[in-house]
């Protein structure tokens, strides 16, 4: 194993690319909620259509680059990325944002519950990638996740609902997909990792999409409106595909555990997006927590992590 220190150029580049990935992902939760409202589609319908968009784009990118088929030895990790980051996370998240009680803010609550993802990804990196974060790293990571969870309890009134279970499943799915994708990015270009993982889903996704009228009923006319189509295109092109180009490259360069902590900022970027898209209110507490968490991220990136 080799030590990765904050002063090294690859780590700095990894952190920058990881931050870019987080910015690109930041509207995923509020846009998922908005897409369900605008299109009238079920969570399964939104998940399938965003995946269909990603499948088409992935095929175009791979064909344009004349990419070779990946080594069969990489299939297991590609299937883990497909199951976790491509199918599991979007599907569980889409159901999660629709399952909160009417008196709770579903998008905001789901956004903050998702703040556990950085810590879960660091654990997955330790188990699957061989990263060995220092005790200082774990202390800062726990503090960051603790701040986000505490904020979640404040936002949701301390109430627990079935929506939280769906979001927990989404977090576990994404953490596994992120760690395996980072490991693959050491052997494949990061953009190819997500493109091949997306294409692996095509034999299941495309037939299910064709069967949607029989599964969910006729596709609502409002699903073809410009706002609905725009939201689905964002989810398919950015959240499902292009955001991962930067994200996986950042994880592989800077270390999965270290770069994963940049995700602590994502809930607050998403809350800002929810305020704009869904008219949710940004409270002074939200702004204070954003500053606190950003500070912890800056401290955490200085902590030594031995990369597997």
Instruction: Tell me the average pLDDT across 282-296.
Output: 80
Question: 118-129: per-residue pLDDT in tens?
Answer: 889 999 989 888
Quote the CA–CA distance of 45 and 43 in Å, as a whole number.
Answer: 5
Closest to 23 in 3D by CA, of 280, 258, 250, 255: 250
Count of other CB atoms within 10 angstroms of residue 65? 12
Task: Give the least confident one: 30-34, 106-110, 184-188.
Answer: 106-110
pLDDT at residue number 203: 95
3 state SS of 5: coil
Tokens of 283: 């409270």
Strand order in the sheet with 132-133: 2-4, 305-307, 132-133
Question: 155-209: per-residue pLDDT in tens?
Answer: 655 556 677 788 888 999 999 999 999 999 999 999 999 999 999 999 999 999 9
Question: 76-87: per-residue pLDDT in tens?
Answer: 999 999 999 999
3 state SS of 257: helix
Could you say which DSSP state residue 139 is in?
H
Instruction: Tell me the average pLDDT across 279-286.
Output: 74
Tokens of 37: 């409202």
């Amino acid at each position: 194993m080799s030590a990765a220190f904050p002063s090294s150029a690859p780590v700095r580049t990894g952190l920058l690319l990881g931050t870019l990935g987080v910015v690109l992902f930041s509207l995923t939760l509020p846009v998922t909620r908005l897409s369900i409202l605008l299109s009238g589609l079920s969570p399964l319908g939104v998940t399938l259509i965003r995946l269909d968009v990603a499948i088409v784009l992935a095929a175009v990118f791979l064909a344009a680059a004349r990419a070779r088929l990946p080594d069969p030895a990489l299939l297991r990790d590609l299937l883990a990325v497909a199951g976790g980051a491509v199918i599991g996370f979007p599907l569980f998240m889409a159901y999660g944002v629709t399952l909160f009680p009417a008196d709770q803010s579903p998008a905001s609550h789901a956004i903050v519950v998702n703040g556990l993802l950085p810590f879960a990804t660091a654990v997955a990196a330790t188990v699957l990638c061989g990263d060995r974060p220092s005790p200082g790293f774990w202390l800062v990571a726990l503090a960051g996740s603790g701040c986000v969870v505490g904020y979640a309890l404040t936002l949701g009134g301390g109430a627990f609902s079935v929506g939280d279970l769906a979001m927990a499943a989404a977090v576990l799915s994404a953490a596994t997909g992120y760690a395996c994708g980072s490991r693959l990015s050491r052997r494949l270009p990061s953009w190819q990792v997500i493109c091949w993982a997306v294409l692996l889903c095509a034999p299941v996704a495309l037939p299910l999409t064709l069967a949607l009228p029989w599964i969910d009923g006729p596709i609502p006319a409002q699903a073809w409106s410009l706002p609905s189509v725009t939201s689905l295109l964002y989810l398919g092109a950015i959240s499902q595909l292009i955001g991962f180009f930067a994200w996986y490259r950042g994880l592989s360069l800077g270390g999965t555990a270290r770069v994963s902590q940049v995700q602590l900022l994502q809930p607050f970027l998403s809350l800002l997006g929810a305020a704009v898209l869904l008219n949710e209110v940004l409270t002074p507490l939200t702004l204070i927590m954003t500053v606190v968490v950003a500070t912890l991220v800056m401290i955490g990136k200085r902590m030594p992590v031995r990369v597997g």
